[in-house]
Structure 1
């Protein structure tokens, strides 16, 4: 039986880079993790309801901070829990 490894989720602390791990994830991975389409992502970004992308070196490629996507998902769950009450 294979062991399951759990990775702790860490909040990005830019003031203390030794304790933070900055991970960029590309759009395909963001889509996979959130279940959103490309159009859905950009629509939510335009309405300030989704984390903004970051331009990578060269200016054509974009990515998102993994921590920002995780925080957005946590906020979605919190909003859903509040609405259920």
Structure 2
């Protein structure tokens, strides 16, 4: 919801999997419905990753209509986020 825990973690994992498989041309990003813009990823999320630096540059973003309109697919973390 705040784009500091689950969604940046999912973003980092998906980016890593795509890179490991050599898949290019897919843009992966995350945003929250109640984000505090520019907040860093939570310490817990950074600790979960084998490479915590994967989230070192993350800054929370508020989801905007333009992001949704530009996306081919939107994944939510809970049914209430739809």
Task: Using structure 1 for the length normalisation, give the TM-score.
Answer: 0.24
Q: Hey, which of these two has a bigger chunk of strand by percent?
A: 1
**Higher Rg of the two aligned structures:** 1
Q: Which has the higher contact order (CA 8 A, sep 6+)?
A: 2
Task: Using structure 2 for the length normalisation, give the TM-score.
Answer: 0.24
